[in-house]
Copies of this chain bind each other. A is one copy, B any other.
Amino acid sequence: MTNDQEFEHYLRVRRTEIETALEAGLPTPPACPALIADAMRYSLLAGGKRLRPILTLAAAESVNVRNDPGRDLTGSPSAMPAACAVELIHTYSLIHDDLPSMDDDDVRRGRPTAHVVYGDAVAILAGDALLTHAFEVLARPEAEETPPRLARRLRAIARLAGAAGAAGMVGGQVLDVEATGNLTIVGNGRAAPETGHEALREIHERKTGALIGAAAAIGAILAGADHPTVAAIDAYSTHLGLAFQIVDDILDVEGSVADLGKTTGKDAVAGKPTYPAVHGVARSRALATNAAAAARDALAEANLGGRLGEIADWVVSRRQ
C-alpha cells in the first residue's frame, strides 16, 4: 500500500468503529418512543466524513504513543465515548442548521434532510435528543472509575459544552444567521469587504473551529495530556479548523461549477460570507495550505506524531 492508501484504510477502519459505537449507544424502544429513535438514527447514521470523531481518536492516540512509544496503535477505546459525543453534537447542529427557519436545506449527503422526512417539530426534537445524548454518553459509568479518569471526563464535558454552546458553535450559527441577513441586504450576495474579513473569521472560528478544537482537545485530555500538550493540540486544531472551513467554502463554489454549470454555489446565493467571496479562490487555496502547514508545525513543536499530521493534509486535499 502507498501512504495514501494506508491512510485511507485507517480512515475506513476508524469510521466503521465510530459508526458501530454510535449505533450501539443510541436509545431504542421501549426505552424511548419509536419515532424519536428513528429520527435520531436517520441523521446520525447517514454517513459523512466523521472528521471530528476521528480527530478525537487520533489526538488520544497521538498522546498515548508519545507517552508510551511501545503502545499498540490499533485502538484508543477510552476516547470512543468522547468521539461519539462529538459526532452526536455535530449531527444535531446539522439538523438544526438545515431547518427552514435557518439555512432551509432540503438535502444533505444525498438524502432528504430530517425536517423534510419527519417535519420541523420532530427534526428539532431529534436534534435536541442527539445533543442531550452526547452528554449522557460522556457521563455514563465506565469500568475504569479512577479519580484521574473521573476528573478528565468532567474536564472533557466542560470543554465540549463550552465549544458547542453560546461561546462556540451556537454563537457562530447566530452570527451566521445575522450576517447572512445583513449581507443579503448590503452586498447582494457578496460580503462587504471592509467588515467581511474579521466577521468571517469570527463566524468560522465559533461555528466550525470551536467544535473541531474541542474534538481534538478532549481526545488529548482523556489520554491524560498535560496542559502544554493540550495547548499544542489547541494550536493545531485552530489552524486545522481554519483550513477545513476555507476548503469547505471553496468546494461550495467549485462543486457548483462541476455539478450545476454556474460559478456561484448556495453560499453565494444565500448571501453567506465565504473565503472565496472575500479573498478569491486562488488566495483562499493558499491560505488553506498555509493553515495546514501551521497545524503540522504546532504538532512538531510538541513532539506529537501519529495521524494528526495526515489529517491536516487530508482536510486540505479532500474533494468533498
**Partner of A170 from B31, B125, B151, B161 at Cβ < 8 Å:** B125
A135-178 with Cβ < 8 A to chain B: 135-136, 138-141, 145, 147, 150-151, 153-155, 157-158, 161-162, 164-167, 170-171, 173-175, 177-178
Q: Are B166 and A37 in contact (CB under 8 A)?
A: yes
In whole angstroms, what is the CA distance A303 to B164 when docked? 42
Cβ-closest chain B residue relative to A175: B33
Q: Which of A62-70, A114-122, A234-242 contacts B (4 or more CB under 8 A)?
A: A114-122
| Chain A 197-239 near chain B by CB (<8 Å), digits 1 or 0 | 0000000001000000000000000000000000000000000
**Partner of A139 from B31, B154, B164, B170 at Cβ < 8 Å:** B154
A27 within 8 A of B: yes
Main DSSP-derived SS at the A contact region:
helix
A101 within 8 A of B: yes
A27 with B132, Cβ < 8 A, contacts A33-B175, A141-B158, A175-B33 known: no
**Partner of A151 from B27, B150, B166 at Cβ < 8 Å:** B150
Q: Are B124 and A101 in contact (CB under 8 A)?
A: yes
Cβ-closest chain B residue relative to A165: B132
The interface centre, meaning the residue of A40, A140, A161 with most chain B CB atoms within 10 A of its CB, is A161
Q: Are B175 and A161 in contact (CB under 8 A)?
A: no
A73 within 8 A of B: no
Q: With a CB–CB cut-off of 8 A, which chain B residues contact A135?
A: 135, 157, 161
Q: With a CB–CB cut-off of 8 A, which chain B residues contact A175?
A: 33
Cβ-closest chain B residue relative to A99: B124
In whole angstroms, what is the CA distance A27 to B161 when docked? 12
Q: Are B131 and A128 in contact (CB under 8 A)?
A: yes
Q: With a CB–CB cut-off of 8 A, which chain B residues contact A170?
A: 36, 125, 128-129, 132
The interface centre, meaning the residue of A37, A92, A139, A141 with most chain B CB atoms within 10 A of its CB, is A139
Q: Are A36 and B120 in contact (CB under 8 A)?
A: no
Q: With a CB–CB cut-off of 8 A, which chain B residues contact A171?
A: 32-33, 36, 129
A269 within 8 A of B: no
| Chain A 33-53 near chain B by CB (<8 Å), digits 1 or 0 | 101110010000000000000
A102 with B124, Cβ < 8 A, contacts A135-B135, A174-B35 known: yes
25 contacts between A and B (CB under 8 A): A27-B165, A27-B166, A31-B166, A32-B165, A33-B166, A33-B174, A40-B166, A96-B124, A96-B128, A101-B120, A102-B121, A122-B174, A127-B128, A128-B165, A129-B166, A132-B164, A133-B161, A135-B157, A139-B154, A139-B158, A139-B161, A140-B158, A141-B154, A150-B151, A154-B154
Which residues in A have some Cβ–Cβ distance to B below 8 Å? Answer: 27, 31-33, 35-37, 40, 92, 96, 99, 101-102, 119-122, 124-125, 127-129, 131-133, 135-136, 138-141, 145, 147, 150-151, 153-155, 157-158, 161-162, 164-167, 170-171, 173-175, 177-178, 206
